[in-house]
Amino acid sequence: MLRFVLRRLLWAVPMVLIVTFLVYVALRVGTNPLASYLRVNQRASAKKIQQYIETNGLYEGFGGYLRGYFQWLQGFVTFDWPRSIKGSREVWPEFRDAMMNTLRLGLTATGIGILIGLSLGVFVALKPGGLRDTTVNTGAFVAISTPPYVSALILQLVFAVYWNRWFGSSLLPTSGVYPPGNRGFDLFLMIKHMVLPVTVVVIQIVAVYTRYMRASLLEVLNSEYMRTARSKGISERRVLVRHALRNALIPIVTVAAIDIGAILGGLIITERIFSYPGLGDFFLGAYDNGDFPQMMPWMFFFTLVVIFFNLVADVSYAVLDPRIRLGR
Amino acid sequence: MTKKTSRVLALLAGASLVIAACGGDDGDSSSSDTGAPATEAPSDGGDTDTSACGSGTLEGGAGGAEGEAAMRITIDINPDAVWQDGCPITVADFQCSVNATLNTPGSISTTGYDKIISIEAGASDQQVVVEFNEVYAPYKLLFGGLIQASAVEDCNDISTDFADSIQISGREWIMDSWSPEQLVFTPNPNYWGDAPSTERVVMVPFADFDTQSAAILAGEVDFIYPQFFAGITDALSDANITNKVEFGGDYEGFYFQSDPNRGGPFSDPIFREAFVKSLDRQGVFEQIYIPLSDGQGKLLECGPIVPGPYCNDSFVGQYDPEGAVALLEANGWAKDGSGYWAKDGGEAPTIRWIINTGNTRRENTQAYLIPLMQAAGFNVVADNCDAACYFQQRLPALDYDMAMYISTAPPDPAYLTASFACDQIPSDANNNAGQNSTGWCNEEATALLKEADITVDEGPRSELVKQVMDLMAGDYVMLPLFQFPKAGFWRTDRLGGPVDAQLNNYRAFNNFSQWEDVDGDGQIILGAEQWPECLNPVTECANSSWMVWTTAFPVLPNVWDTTNGGTFEITNLVAGEPTVEVL
Amino acid sequence: MAFRRFVRHRGALVSSIILGTMILFVILAPFTARYGVNEAVFKTSIENPNQFLSPRGIAWLGTDDIGRDLYSRLIYGLRVSIFIGLAAAFFGTVLGVTIGAIAGLRGGWIDDVLMRVTDLFLAFPFLVTLLVLRSVMSSVSWLEPFVGKPTSIRFVIVLFVLFGWMGVARLMRGQVLALKEREFVEAARALGAGPVRIVVRHLLPNAIGPILVALTFAVSSAIIGEATLGFFGYGPQPGAGSTSLGKLVGGAKGALLPGYWWLVVFPCVLLVLSTLCVNFIGDGLRDATDPKLDGTR
């Protein structure tokens, strides 16, 4: 087991380097930072341009990209991040704030979503085929087929705009972390502002996990060894808790770890619609400006997250499911 | 608001410090070091020891244009005028602002400043004497958005200053904080004019109109200044919300790329004329713009300018489809097999019409007009790309045949020279940085424009501009469409005072220091449609109207401000109207 | 057998009927649509404007901001969206099957690399990957003859294909790994069949069920993908000649608050309905082709 984990860890290091290098190349090609710099600084002298190329490692050719990548990486690790192109501002403080906001939103939504989703999944898997199953299953299907912006617009309309028309004041705010002009930390207001975006993300997560859990649990319940367990006279409840749930969760843990990307994707869309100053908003803003120095740390960070969770998925799968063949 | 708009706007705006290519950019050399870098915290008011304020003039002066002095402006600074730290505003600040505009690598425009030979102290450090190497009529566009010399390390390159905060102030407000989420202003204790009537002004960005309108309906913001669209007043109908619609300096038009050196179907004047005569502007107006104006708008007939002293209604009655057919047929054009006009049996020209994708109004215009133009025998095709590609690549490279965009007409017509003079067509001669993106070159018009720029007398100057408009209409190089409404929406239960007094001003809602906080929560909250990425007043950051409205105007002093009526007036920065001498 | 199971999936059955009707409407667009895609219901005038008319006789689903019939535009928009969905799903699946088969048959480092890449691609947020791919594809000038302009429909299809092959590849690889040791494949190999032949004649038919299911879901995710890009302004801009669900749904944003509910409700309902139908059909297909589910229903 240890060997397996180590092997995977060893895999991860070159993976991170290769993938982030590819990302680096893609972003350099996609955004062309030098051209962006020149567009913004039209009066830059040849000397200034050369200086910009050197401080930012914007060399040409494969070797140049490689050299530039490592120069960038060195700066990144030592927190000597290149400044944004538009307005030459520091990137890290904004990135950090955005990350905190996203973590708050993402963790809350994921926690609530998975909890509700799994419970619903168990709830329907116990009586497959009935009205309950059909209702929840159809509901989940509709939710999956509804893009987050559609639900977001409808929620905003009902709880902010129309609520205001009907009752004279809106129930929930539609944007930001705090009401405009707020000073300092206020937990209640913060929660109030998170309700709608969290709901939008939760809807997506619940829909997905309900179906995962249902399918997974059904499969376990119908498997040979469950039949055996039942036939041995173990009570249904005990079967469920001791064996079925545990086994049904195995694939879900794996899926959850891989799914992190999908959740983040939903977050990006949601943040944009609710003007929530998180990483998604940060990325889309940087993308619209073609701002390489802002996009690259973002992509690097996400690559790390994604690779890490992939690793978690692999390892957890191996740990939880003794049937897996190790050291393939 | 488009990039194009803001570029013109920024000229006047705080940003106008912008200057030109003269002062050789060798950043490291001879930067005049005027002592202490950025003063971080504003002092608590009260008397300040002015000996700590740095020198009243810059070593090395400012400007850099060559030649004989042709015009001299003498500005007497108000002796009470001080920065937020109590230090007097002096010649050094004028010099520093001009140098920053001229020499910062990312400076967006140096127009006007590039004619300055020198800026020197007159009788005292508070008398500014500026000499120009030629007469510059639009001088009132200069000396806006002044910065404090002692707040920057190097006046010749301020590109890394003011990235996320402007700590200096020579107006009513001090920028308390600025972040991607909000901007907070508090009163400037050292301001020498009337103190603001509110303790705090907060500006908040909104990603789109939906969230913005939801916020004002919900009472989260007190005032918004959104871009007008059809149905906006329905969207904001609420007993507590009122609005005022005015018609400001923003106008939209069609432009036809007619540079003979670049080819393209419209470089043929006959074809261009026929095309324009076949285009029913009234139809476009009724279908696209009437809903946009709440029934109050009119078709714009002036040209690339709005009604006022320079308008001659030169574009009236150009629609003449029969005349177009006759003109083409008389010149060897005939319809080909697919019904498009072609000359002498050749291939029918394809007209590439560019707009920025995602702009519903322009897409609608294409959807409406393209079938009509095709029916009239012109093979118009949509050739769109995103805003960055459109405004930063295709338009400056004249890589289009027909374009549609909004521009902002500042109160001074000087922008016409930059946009329509022959020598402004991008070419190797001007490093491809010319701003004439229609490729229109009419020597006579160019001469008139240049003359207008050195005619300080208002009456003759407007006659010159009107002649240019007539020539432009005769050359069929553009078609004006519509003067855009500017509208402020605000909650009467939260906001009072002269909210609607300046909505038509170039400086927009910048009189908010006089607004009253009716609900008594101690603050006024303004919604912003766009949010600046950064606050530097001379670089690309300033190339956005919202940036100057929200961050530069409330803190940086100007010699002249614009008025709601589209004129200029001096501010309390100066002791009296500056003297202008033509030498 | 499989067909009977599919028919017993009520959701799938109903969805097939609805989707079938939609496709029929879309194919017969010149007849089913009442107006042209950019045709105003009548010429506007100041007294009698054609903009923002609520649903009525001359425009069953109302008109938009320049007086065009929403019903007709929905048909033309759905046509483009379904085309994008089908084309992207088809080519993505073909690419995925090829790559998955190679990975499964060859094994070794090709397999490792391919699967790692697939893992990562799938793990990244979908919008981010799409946007980065989009910027690369639009910046490399020599690609333009192949992929078209960033605003073209072809560009979006290529984008979705590049993005969409991975799920199928992983699935195909799994199928190949599971099947390749089976007797009939061994037998074919013993008879000297080459790898292409083995895949096409033996592996593909046996894996066709799950692949078909994946293809169906790819259609719906391409439709949603187009709508998402369109909603945020990165979508295809078919130009003056046509529209798409993404553009119509994106246009709904501005119509919400003035209360032009028809411009919001109908495009959104159509988007959700069409993806829902495709998803239900996929679900039905899965039930129908998954032998494990035999007898459980």
The pLDDT tens digits for B315-342 are: 998 999 999 999 999 999 999 888 999 9
**Closest chain A C-alpha to B19 CA, distance in angstroms:** 11
- Count structural domains, chain C: 1
Using a CB-CB distance cutoff of 8 angstroms, which residues of chain B are in contact with residue C152?
Answer: none
Lowest-pLDDT choice from A48-52, A227-231, B570-574? A227-231
pLDDT at C73: 92
- Integer angstrom CA distances of residue B493 from A159, B418, B432, B520, C157: 22, 45, 53, 10, 52
pLDDT at A181: 62
Helix axes A292-320 and A245-273, enclosed angle (nearest 10):
170
E runs forming strands in B44-200? 71-76, 116-121, 127-132, 173-178, 183-187
Q: pLDDT by residue (tens digit) across B407-464?
A: 877 788 888 988 899 988 988 887 777 889 899 999 999 999 999 988 888 889 999 9
Query: Across the interface, which of C132, C249, C268 has its CB nearest the CB of A30?
Result: C132
The mean pLDDT value for B204-232 works out to 82
Which residues touch B35 (CB under 8 Å, ≥6 apart)? B54, B55, B150
Using a CB-CB distance cutoff of 8 angstroms, which residues of chain A are in contact with residue C120?
Answer: 15, 19, 303, 306-307, 310
pTM for this structure? 0.80
CATH of the domain at C284: 1.10.3720.10
Q: Return d(Cα B530, Cα B550) in angstroms, integer.
A: 10
Query: Burial of B443 by CB count in 10 Å (0-12 exposed, 13-18 middle, 19+ buried)?
Result: exposed
Give me the numbers of helices (H) and strands (E) for chain C, helices first please: 13, 0
Contact in structure between B479 and B315 (CB atoms under 8 Å): yes
**Closest chain A C-alpha to B6 CA, distance in angstroms:** 14
Touching A: B residues 154-173, CB under 8 Å: 159-160, 163-164
- Integer angstrom CA distances of residue B371 from B277, B367, C212: 16, 7, 41
Using a CB-CB distance cutoff of 8 angstroms, which residues of chain C are in contact with residue A222?
Answer: 296
Q: What tokens does B115 get? A: 């004619």
Q: Is the pLDDT of residue B21 over 60?
A: no
Percent of chain A's residues with pLDDT above 70? 89
Check CB contact under 8 Å for B215 and A44. no
Largest interatomic CA distance in chain C: 83
Q: Return d(Cα C90, Cα C231) in angstroms, integer.
A: 24
Test the A interface: residue of C232, C248, C277, C286 with most A CBs within 10 Å: C232
Residue C103 CB coordination number (10 Å): 24
DSSP helix/strand/coil, B566 = coil
For chain A, domain boundaries: 2-77, 92-320
- Could you tell me the residue range of the domain that residue C199 belongs to? 2-41+58-293
Put simply, whether A315 touches C (Cβ < 8 Å) is: no
Touching B: C residues 91-130, CB under 8 Å: none
Q: Return d(Cα B433, Cα B429) in angstroms, integer.
A: 9
In angstroms and rounded to an integer, the radius of gyration of the C-alpha atoms of chain A is 24
Query: Across the interface, which of C127, C268, C280 has its CB nearest the CB of A265?
Result: C127
Residue B538 CB coordination number (10 Å): 31
Q: Is the pLDDT of residue B4 over 70?
A: no
Q: What tokens does B435 get? A: 């701003």
In the DSSP assignment, the letter for residue C40 is B
Q: Return d(Cα A27, Cα A299) in angstroms, integer.
A: 9
Using a CB-CB distance cutoff of 8 angstroms, which residues of chain C are in contact with residue B358?
Answer: 233, 237
Put simply, whether A80 touches B (Cβ < 8 Å) is: no
**Does residue B293 or residue B93 have the better pLDDT?**
B93
Touching C: A residues 252-311, CB under 8 Å: 258, 260-262, 264-265, 267-269, 272, 283-284, 287, 290, 299, 302-303, 306-307, 309-310
Check CB contact under 8 Å for B367 and C254. no
For chain B, domain boundaries: 249-322+349-484
Q: pLDDT by residue (tens digit) across B341-400?
A: 998 888 899 999 999 887 888 888 998 999 899 999 999 988 888 777 888 788 888 999
| CATH class of this structure's domain B249-322+349-484 | alpha beta
**Closest chain B C-alpha to C48 CA, distance in angstroms:** 11
Beta bridge partner(s), residue B488: B244
Contact in structure between B119 and B98 (CB atoms under 8 Å): yes
Query: Across the interface, which of B179, B204, B539 has its CB nearest the CB of A180?
Result: B204
Is C47 domain-assigned?
A: no
Test the A interface: residue of C231, C253, C280, C292 with most A CBs within 10 Å: C231
Superfamily (CATH H level) for A92-320: MetI-like (1.10.3720.10)
In angstroms and rounded to an integer, the radius of gyration of the C-alpha atoms of chain B is 25
The mean pLDDT value for B202-230 works out to 83
Query: Across the interface, which of C119, C140, C276 has its CB nearest the CB of A141?
Result: C276
* H-helix segments, B30-110: 91-103
DSSP helix/strand/coil, B241 = strand
Which residues touch B161 (CB under 8 Å, ≥6 apart)? B38, B151, B152, B153, B536
Give me the numbers of helices (H) and strands (E) for chain A, helices first please: 14, 0
End-to-end CA distance of chain A: 12
Q: pLDDT by residue (tens digit) across A71-113?
A: 999 999 898 888 888 777 788 988 998 999 899 998 999 899 9
Q: What tokens does B274 get? A: 């026929």
Is C216 domain-assigned?
A: yes
Using a CB-CB distance cutoff of 8 angstroms, which residues of chain C are in contact with residue B384?
Answer: 151, 237, 239
pLDDT at B7: 40
Residues of chain C with pLDDT under 50: 294-297
Touching B: C residues 13-32, CB under 8 Å: none
Percent of chain B's residues with pLDDT above 90? 42
Query: Across the interface, which of B104, B205, B539 has its CB nearest the CB of A87?
Result: B539
End-to-end CA distance of chain C: 14
